[in-house]
Amino acid sequence: MAKRPISLETPIGEEEDGRLEDLIEDKEMISPQDAAISSNMAKRIQKVLSTLNEREEKILRMRFGIGEKHDHTLDEVGQVFELTRERIRQIEEKALRKLKHSSRADKLKSFIDT
């Protein structure tokens, strides 16, 4: 036997000042804590990337889709800079090596899950 459906607008509580829908978790909603962590991480990434030269920063942003709609291939980045895909790969590798240096990496370590 099927159960009768109930409206999400159904009042609940002793004062009936709440609604059933107020108790349903929104799985798509970002928690305030996660939003704060994400914002802090974005600021730190921006700060660390700004320590690179302009070309290295732009290449990493394009390759990893940071501040972009999507990430880009070596060929796509190469076309923008009028460089070969191999040269873009070399610049990317050098920039990532710089970011791994402790003076820069320490600023992001708190975001790495251990």
- What are the tens digits of pLDDT across the range 55-67? 999 999 999 999 8
Would the pTM of this model clear 0.85, i.e. be above it? no
**Longest CA–CA separation in the chain, Å:** 70
Q: Per DSSP, what are the bridge partners of residue 18? A: 12
- What are the tens digits of pLDDT across the range 5-56? 888 788 887 777 888 787 777 788 888 888 888 888 888 888 889 999 999 9
Angstrom distances, CA of residue 36 to CA of 28, 57, 80, 96, 109: 16, 24, 34, 26, 17
**What structural domains and CATH numbers belong to the chain?**
48-114 (1.10.10.10)
